[in-house]
Structure 1
Amino acid sequence: MLKRLRIFLSVIVLILSVYSLITQSFKLMPYSMFLLGAMILVTGLMELKKDKKEFWGYVCIIVSLFAVYVSIQGFLLNWV
């Protein structure tokens, strides 16, 4: 289930990023960052779900929290 969710999120992030690059409109960037953070969070959870409990699972979760924080700031700054 997590693998399908990760693939689905990566396709959506890729589509939003290509659209932003082609149109030169970066209004969708906070959405892209939020979905990227969700994708990295799912990747970190997949790493932690393995038996090894590796360092990279924790790194992915920390990076995803930072990406979500940045996207929330982008939502709030564009809202004003």
Structure 2
Amino acid sequence: MALVISDTLLENLDTTANNLLIDLACFLYEKQQMSFGKCRELSGLNHLEFQKELGKRKIFQHYDEDDLKSDLENLGIDL
């Protein structure tokens, strides 16, 4: 599926297509509609750049107990 946004609309929004994609990716991540990886991919930024962008917007990374357990298992740490 392709989303087409006219140049006129972008001019009225006073933004670029790249910035609009970053805005959308951050919004979707904040609302937990998409994973970090998928939102990062949508934004066109690398991992660190997307983390920094989230930080500038005061959007915290989603990390819950299940994520911690998974990370500990991957490291071979038993609790």
Q: In which range does the TM-score fall when normalised by the shorter chain?
A: under 0.3
Q: TM-score, normalised by structure 1?
A: 0.27
Greater RCO structure (CA 8 Å; 6+ sep): 1
Q: TM-score, normalised by structure 2?
A: 0.28
